[in-house]
Structure 1
Amino acid sequence: MKVTDYQSYFGATPKSLNDADFNRLVTYFDLLRQVEKPVVSLITPIFRAKETLVAHLLSLSNLKTIIPYEVIFVENNADEESLAILNQLGAKVVSEPRQGITHARQKGLVEARGKILCSMDPDSIYDPYYIDKMALPFFIDKDLVLCYSISQSYEDNFQLSPKMRLRNKLKLVYFRWKLSGKFTTKIKHIRAVAMAIRRDALEPIGYETDLKAVSGCDDGMLAMHLHNLGSFKYIPVDVYTALPPKREPGKPFPFCNERFLKSNNQLEDTFRELQISNVEH
């Protein structure tokens, strides 16, 4: 399926699906539970994902591979609607109460059983052959620790206007140019939406969970550590993801750290911004 084929699933819920799609997803997750020794683990953090989640799940159900794999969703104080979607379809969900994308990915690392870990995003649509393209290179090159790719963007309702198609073409050219550069340039342009990592390289490092004001949150920092352990490989594969939300320069996206979560208590907001803890009021 093309990303535009998912338009009717934007904002979908299990109840709004037709019987064929509902049964497809329920059967898909039932079969995944029967995989005893997964080689690849797909890990998706969940925070606020209700509008795109069903489409993401359908894209996973369209994956074509003979490699045994598992899918783990890490709910990180997720909204009730997103959790309901996952629970009603029988997906594997684990919880990480410490707010932050790196906390969620670290929880996924702990729970994963596969030798290769793929970091996924719930607003993204993946190539049907994504697992084969991202995982098989690790079995050819024993020095390989990271496979990465470039995502393209879609507009609301998974649309691709002529302007967006042009933007995507320019983005691919730009990022391929940056990723062909020196180490410091390459690291800054690797994104977690399309990363596959060798588990035995990642496990001793883990994710840095105290990233309070680092742009990109978990991807560039992790790539820096992995660079000292082995080689990287760029993989041309189709991944479509939502346009990122707006943010203040130098600050991460709101889901990256609890310090940037909105609160109804203005006094607590002030203390948090000033990084004051254990203050009596």
Structure 2
Amino acid sequence: MKITSYQPFFGISPKQLNDEDFNRLTTYFQLLDSVEKPVVSLVTPVYRAKETLVGHICSLANLKTIIPYEVIFVENNADTESLSILQQLGAKVVSQPEQGITHARQKGLEVARGQIICSMDPDTIYDPYYIDHMVLPFFEEEDLVLTYSVSKSYDADFQLSRKMKLRNKLKEMYFRMKMAKGFTSRIKHIRAVCMAIKKDALLPIGYETDLRAVSGCDDGMLAMHLHTKGIFQYVPVDVYTALPPKREPGKPFPFCNERFINTNTPLEDTYHSLEIEKIGQ
């Protein structure tokens, strides 16, 4: 898979696609609508994804498998542009107004019809054989509850510089080392962008929706709970995703930080005033 082949789809809307690509993507979603009994559910939460969403959808349309599947986009107060992309192409969209990545993933879990849930991200490009690689192991190992992999990163516009190629090699070596060190290390380094989960094992657990003070967000917590349900398997497969946001020292990723949560501004101002008065006394 060449990530650079998706460069023409970066930052564009469906209106900017040529007729062939537009018809291919709209026909793709029409065909998915006719799948009556999906074995796999690909669940993609969407918040702010207008630059990478068309490329992500193109990678889904390039998937090659005989396994019937469905694609569900969970819009989590998504921006107008991202919603418009999904609507113009005819994608299946469900809404989760309660803000937060875990709320969105939980909604996707609740509406999914497949036996296996693939946790997807809208800034990510997936290998054409991703479903086969991630899902077929479940039919070989009865006790398997989770397959996972390590994603690579791309530069802006779906490009891949020499520096990024080197970074990806070092990243894969680092993650493989961490995931070979045992339970604690493996749990901390599993990432939702490359996870396939047995639905029957996941439903009783669900996604943690109160993660304001949890470093690593939903990925590690979910893996920790699943560890009590069965076994895990690492799967080597090509997945390219955007670089994660910078972390504050000692803090979780920004979408888990309290300063990114919508708050009551007037109440904050009142507290701030009280603190100033108290210091003044």
TM-score interval w.r.t. the shorter chain?
A: over 0.9
Q: What CA deviation, in whole Å up to 9, does each residue of 1:219-249 have, x standing for no partner?
A: 1000000001100000000000001112323
Q: C-alpha displacement at 1:250, in angstroms? A: 3.8
**Alignment of structure 1 residues 184-199 onto 2, 5 Å:** 184-199=184-199
Counterpart of 2:58? 58
TM-score (norm: length of structure 2): 0.93
Conserved? CA contact 2:3–2:240, under 8 Å: yes
Counterpart of 2:278? none
Q: SS at 1:247's partner residue?
A: coil
Counterpart of 2:266? 267
2:140 paired with 1:146: no
Unaligned runs of at least 5 residues, structure 1: 274-281
Alignment CA distance shift 1:269-1:217 (3 Å): farther
Counterpart of 1:106? 106
Cα distance in structure 2, aligned partners of 1:172 and 1:84 = 35
Conserved? CA contact 1:11–1:51, under 8 Å: yes
Q: C-alpha displacement at 1:262, in angstroms? A: 5.9
Cα distance in structure 1, aligned partners of 2:270 and 2:193 = 33
Q: C-alpha displacement at 1:257, in angstroms? A: 7.0
Unaligned runs of at least 5 residues, structure 2: 273-281
Cα distance in structure 2, aligned partners of 1:204 and 1:262 = 29
Q: SS at 1:41's partner residue?
A: strand
Conserved? CA contact 1:125–1:240, under 8 Å: yes
- Structure number with greater Rg is 2
**Alignment of structure 1 residues 178-217 onto 2, 5 Å:** 178-217=178-217
Q: SS at 2:29's partner residue?
A: helix
Counterpart of 1:74? 74
Tell me whether 206-215 or 55-64 shows the greater mean CA deviation.
206-215
Alignment CA distance shift 1:268-1:253 (3 Å): farther
Q: SS at 1:5's partner residue?
A: helix
Q: Give the total of aligned pairs.
A: 272
Conserved? CA contact 1:38–1:113, under 8 Å: yes
4+ residue segments displaced more than 6 Å: none
Counterpart of 1:88? 88
Conserved? CA contact 1:117–1:199, under 8 Å: yes
Counterpart of 2:4? 4
Percent identity, aligned pairs only, is: 74
2:246 paired with 1:246: yes
Cα distance in structure 1, aligned partners of 2:269 and 2:17 = 44
Q: SS at 2:171's partner residue?
A: helix
Q: SS at 1:44's partner residue?
A: strand
Q: C-alpha displacement at 1:260, in angstroms? A: 1.6
- Pairwise CA RMSD of aligned residues? 1.8
Counterpart of 1:38? 38
Alignment CA distance shift 1:220-1:272 (3 Å): farther
Amino acid at match of 2:27: T
Q: C-alpha displacement at 1:272, in angstroms? A: 10
Counterpart of 2:225? 225
Cα distance in structure 1, aligned partners of 2:47 and 2:268 = 20
Alignment CA distance shift 1:94-1:255 (3 Å): farther
Q: SS at 2:8's partner residue?
A: helix
Tell me whether 249-258 or 16-25 shows the greater mean CA deviation.
249-258
